[in-house]
Structure 1
C-alpha cells in the first residue's frame, strides 16, 4: 500500500469516526428528548382528562366518544382513573384496555407517586393525583408514532449523510494527497536519474520554504558535498598517480641504463644511488599518504589523551634534525608555566608530531640558512604555536591554495615535494579542534600560526 493511499484512508477513517460520533450523539440526544417530551405530554393529557372528569364533571360517555373519534385519525392517549383501592372510576376504552392495569401496579404508583415504562412500544405513565384531599391513580398510555417517524428519518438521513461524507472525504483526501505527493514523486523520478556519472543533477525546489522544499534543499546540499568529494577524489587519485609515476619511471629508467653492458663501477654506483633516492621519495610519499588517511578518520576512531605540546615539539625537532643535520631549530616559550596542564591538550601524539614535523621541515628547507623558529604561548582559552622562517616567502596568488592537497606553488622549483604536507597539517589541526593560518612576505619569510582551544569554539 502506498503512503498516499495510507494517508487517504487514515484521513477518511479519522474524519468518518468523528462524524459517526457526532451523529450518534445527535441521534441518542434526539431519542432521549423524544422520550421525555412524550412522557411530559402523557402527564398533561392525564391531568387534563382528570380535571375534565373531576372538576368539569364531563360525562364518561362524552369523554369516551371524544377518545374514540380522535383515535381514528391520531394516536390518542388512553387514560384510566382508579381510586387508591383499585376501583376503576373511568377508562377511555375498556374494550381496548391496552395497558391492563393490575392491583400491584396501582399500589406501586400509590407508593412511589409516579412510574414510567414501555409496553410493546407504547409509553405508559402512572401518576398519583389528589383531588379534594383524596388520592387517585391515573394511568396514561400512547404510541408516539410521529416521534418514532422523526427518529427513523433522522437516523436514515444521518446514515445517508455519513456515507456521502465518507465518499466525499475519500475522494477529496485522494485529490489533496496527490497534490501533496506530486513534488515527492518528481523528486523520486529525479533522484533515480542521479548516479555517479550524473552528480550534477539536482532535485527541483519550489522556493516555498515548506518541509518538502527544505528536504530538496538539504538533499541538494548533500549532493553538492558528494560531487565535491567525488571531484576531490578524482583529483586526489590523479595526483597520486602522477606523483607515483615520476619516481617509478625514474627508477625504471635508471635500472634499464644500469642493465646495459659496458658500465663502469662508478656508473653502476650512480645508478644505484639515483634509484635509492627515488625509492626514498616513494617511501616518503607513501608515509605522507598514510598519515593523510589517518588524519581523515572519524575523531571517534582516534585515541586522544592528555599531551604536553612542548614534549611533542621537542620530539618533532629531533626527528627533523636526524633526517637532515643541516637543519637548525630554535624553540622558546613566550612565558613561564607552573602546571603541565597549561601547555597540554587532549590529542593524538603521533598525528601532532607529523603536523609539527611538516611545518618545521618546510621552514628549514625554504630558508637559506635552514633555520626555523618555534614559539609557544598560552592563556586560559588557548595554546598558540608559531613556526617562523626567514626564507623566500609565498607568493600572494599561492596563499589561498597552499592547504589544498597536492598543490605546488611557484616555490616548488626551489625544493622538491609532493604538496601533501600542509594539507595534512591542516587536517590534523582541525581534528584537534584548532585552526591554522599563515602570513608571508616574499623574500622575508613566512609564519604559520596554530591555535589549540581548551574548549571547542564555533567557527
Structure 2
C-alpha cells in the first residue's frame, strides 16, 4: 500500500473516531436532556394532580376527573396515584398499578424521588395538605423521546457516513499534495544513470523531511560522482600514464642489451630505467593514496583538529627531511588557540603536505611561507612559494587528476597532489583556490568554516 493511501486511511480513521466520539456524546447529552425534561413534566403532573384533588375541596371527584382529562393530555402509559398516610390509594379509582409501601415510605423520607422502571419514568412527591399528608406518584413512557432518539440516530448515521467518505477523499487529496515532492524526488531518482551522476534532485524550499532526504541524497550522489570520476579517470589515464614509463623502461633495456656497450652506456641506461621506475612509483603511490583517502573518509570519525598544532607538527617534520628548505609559519596570535576545524587529522595532513611539497618542488627548495588567520569568511591558510608561478594556460587544469605543470618543467610530477588536496579539503567543507600572484610564485588559499 502506498504511503499516501496509508496516510489517508490513518487520517480518516482518527478523524472519524473523533467524530464518532462527538456524535455519541451529543446523543448521550440529548437523551439525558430529554429524560430530565420528561421527569420535569411528570413532576408538573404531580403538582397539578395535587392542586386538582387536594386543594379543590368543593369540587366532586367526577368533576375533577373531567377537568383533568379536558385540560391535560394523557401521556403514553400514564399512571398517577395518590396515597394517604396509611399508604392507601385515594381519589383515583384505578388499581391497575400500585406501588409498594417501601417505595411510598422512601418518598415520604426524601420528599421527592425520580427513577426509571423499565421503559417508564417515575416521579414521586410528598405533599402536605389540610386533609393530611399524601404521596403522589406519576409514571409514564416518554414515547416521543424514543421516537426522536431513533430519528436522531438515523440522521447521525447518515451524517457519519457522508463525513467519512468526504474525509477519505479529501485525505487522499491532501496526502497526495503533501507527498507530491516525494513523487517528484522518485521520478528524478529514476533518471540517474551511470552516465549522468552529476544530476542532482530538487531540494525545494520547505525545511521538511523530504527536503532533508533530497539534501542527503545529493550529498551521497556527490560522493558517488567523485568515486566514479576517479574510476573513469583511472581507466582513461592510468593505463596510459603507467604504460609510458613501462614502455620506456622496456625500450631502454632492449637497446642496452642489443649489443655490447661500455660501462658508461650501461650506467646511462640503468639511470634512465631508474627514473622511469621512480615516475611509475609516484603514479602508483598517488593512485593508492587517493583510494585510501576515500576509504578513510568513509570509515573515519571526524574530530576537532587544531590548525595551529597541525601546522607546527608539519613544520617540524619538514625540518627533519634531508635537503629540505625552511617552512616559515606566521600565526594570528590573538586567535591561534581557537582555530579548530572538524576533520580527519590524517587526511588533512596529507592535503597540507601535498601543497607544501609542490611549493618546495617548484621553487627548487626555497622557503615556503604559511600563514594562518581568523578572517570574516572563516579560518584562512595561505601557502606561498618562491617559484616561477603557474602559467595562465595551466591554471584552469591544476586541480584535475594526472595534469601537472611539473611534467612540462621536468619536475617529475604525477598530477595527483593538488587533486588529492582539493578533494580532501572539500570533504571537510573547506575550499582550496589559487590566488593570483603573477609570476612571483604561487599562493594557495585554504578556507575552513568556523565550527
Q: Name the TM-score, length of structure 1 as normaliser.
A: 0.77
TM-superposed CA distance for 1:435, in Å, is 6.9
Identify the residue that residue 457 of structure 1 maps to in structure 2: 450
CA separation in 2, counterparts of 1:231 and 1:156? 70
Corresponding residue SS for 1:36: helix
**Structure 1 residue 419 corresponds to structure 2 residue 415:** yes
Distance 1:255 1:66, change over 3 A: farther
- Once the two structures are TM-superposed, the CA of residue 38 in structure 1 deviates from its matched residue by 1.0
Aligned twin of 1:127: 125
* From 379, 388, 399, the counterpart of 2:385: 388
Is 1:246 aligned to 2:244, yes or no? yes
Equivalent in the alignment of 2:62:
61
- 2:284 is paired with a residue of what secondary structure? helix
TM-score between the two structures when normalised by the length of structure 2? 0.79
Where in structure 2 are the equivalents of 1:187-198 lying within 5 Å? 187-198=185-196
Q: How far 1:233 moved relative to its partner?
A: 4.2
Contact 1:84 1:106 in 2 (8 A): no
Matched residues in 2 for 1:343 and 1:129: separation? 96
SS in 1 for 2:391: coil
Q: Match of 1:101, SS?
A: coil
Matches within 5 A, 1:2-21: 2-21=2-21
Q: Equivalents in 1 of 2:343, 2:166: separation in Å?
A: 66
Q: Which residue of 1 aligns with 2:135?
A: 137
Q: Count residues in correspondence.
A: 440
Note if contact 1:377-1:384 (Cα within 8 Å) is conserved in structure 2: yes
Q: Distance in 2 between matches of 1:344 and 1:40?
A: 82
1:81 aligns with 2:82: yes
Partner Cα separation in structure 2 for residue 359 and residue 411 of structure 1:
16
Q: Distance in 2 between matches of 1:375 and 1:36?
A: 96
Q: CA separation of 1:313/1:436 partners in 2, compared to 1, >3 Å: closer, same or farther?
A: farther
Q: 2:366: which partner in 1?
A: 372
Q: Which SS does the other structure have where 1:80 is aligned?
A: strand
Do the aligned residues in 2 keep the contact of 1:75 with 1:144 (CA within 8 Å)? yes
Secondary structure of 2:91 counterpart: strand
Report the 3-state secondary structure (helix = DSSP H, G, I; strand = E; otherwise coil) of the residue aligned with 1:25.
helix
| Aligned Cα root-mean-square deviation (Å) | 4.3
Q: Is the contact between residue 84 and residue 110 of structure 1 (CA under 8 Å) also seen in structure 2?
A: no
Change (3 A) 1:352 1:13: closer
Which deviates the most, 146-155 or 394-403? Answer: 394-403
Q: Is the 8 A contact 1:394 1:411 kept in 2?
A: no
Picking from 144, 147, 156, the partner of 2:145 is: 147
Q: 1:74 to 1:66 in 2, by over 3 A?
A: farther
Residue 256 of structure 1: aligned partner: 254
The alpha-carbon deviation at position 361 of structure 1 amounts to: 4.8
2:384 and 2:359 map into 1 onto residues whose CA distance is 7
Stretch moving more, 441-450 or 121-130: 441-450
Task: Look up the match of 2:161.
Answer: 163
In structure 2, the CA distance between the partners of 1:140 and 1:388, relative to structure 1 (3 Å rule), is same
Aligned pair in 2 of structure 1 residues 285, 17: CA closer, same or farther (>3 Å)?
same
8 A contact 1:392–1:444 mirrored in 2:
yes
The answer to whether the 8 Å contact 2:305/2:342 transfers is yes
Match of 1:218 among 203, 215, 218: 215
Is the contact made by 2:290 and 2:420 (CA closer than 8 Å) also made in structure 1?
A: yes
**Aligned match of 2:300:** 300
Asked whether the 8 Å contact 1:317–1:357 carries over to 2, the reply is no
Measure the CA separation in 2 of the matches of 1:12 and 1:348: 50
Q: Which moved more, 1:426-435 or 1:152-161?
A: 426-435
What residue ranges of structure 1 are gaps of 5+ in the alignment? 322-327
Unaligned runs of 5+ in 2: none
Distance 1:39 1:214, change over 3 A: same
SS of the aligned residue for 1:319 comes to coil
**Which residue in 2 is equivalent to 1:324?**
none
In the TM superposition, 1:25-104 aligns within 5 A as 25-57=25-57, 58-64=59-65, 75=76, 77-91=78-92, 94-95=94-95, 97-98=96-97, 100-104=98-102
What SS does the aligned partner of 2:388 have?
coil
